[in-house]
Amino acid sequence: MKVILKEEVISLGKPGEIINVTDGYARNYLFPKKKAMPATQGNLKNLDQFKKTLLKKHENQQALAQDLAQKLAGVTCVIQRKVGEKDKLFGSVTSNDIYAALKDKGYEIDKRGILLHEPIRELGEHEVEIRLSTEVSTKIKVSIQAEA
């Protein structure tokens, strides 16, 4: 089945592309999540207008992401955790904890954009990458401190 992507799907392509997928994948995943539309004659005629609209939307999102990246560049999140002997953390600091700390500071980001290769398990300052869009990312400092 041929479909037109409405937004980027990592394994398939970018918005506005016409791709061939299985019927079940289109019906059960792409269409319900509004990530694609069928490549019918009517939709193909409107494809140029759709691409122009997508381009404007993409430019606006990139500008917003750039602004947010500049604001986040100097941010340091402080997260306090209980520690045991030899300053070992009880548990670990995950992307959910970093998301909550950023939200408390007033920054609204997508939780899935916080890129931690593995949870943080030690005290100190750590650099964490935040992906704001497919082309814009920034790094913040996360300071893990012992609870008093």
Residue 61 CA to its chain's centroid (Å): 13
Q: What is the pLDDT of residues 64-76, one digit of tens each?
A: 999 999 988 888 9
- CATH, range 69-146: 3.10.430.100
For residue 54, what pLDDT is reported? 83
CATH match of 2-66 with 2.60.40.10: no
Decide: 4 and 47 in contact? Cβ < 8 Å.
Answer: yes
Spatial CB neighbours of 12, under 8 Å, sequence gap ≥ 6? 5, 19, 21
Nearest by Cα to 71 from 116, 119, 138 = 138
* SS3 call for 105: coil
Q: Where in the chain is the domain with CATH 3.10.430.100?
A: 69-146
Spatial CB neighbours of 58, under 8 Å, sequence gap ≥ 6? 15
For residue 75, what pLDDT is reported? 87
pTM over 0.75: no
pLDDT above 90: residue 89 = no
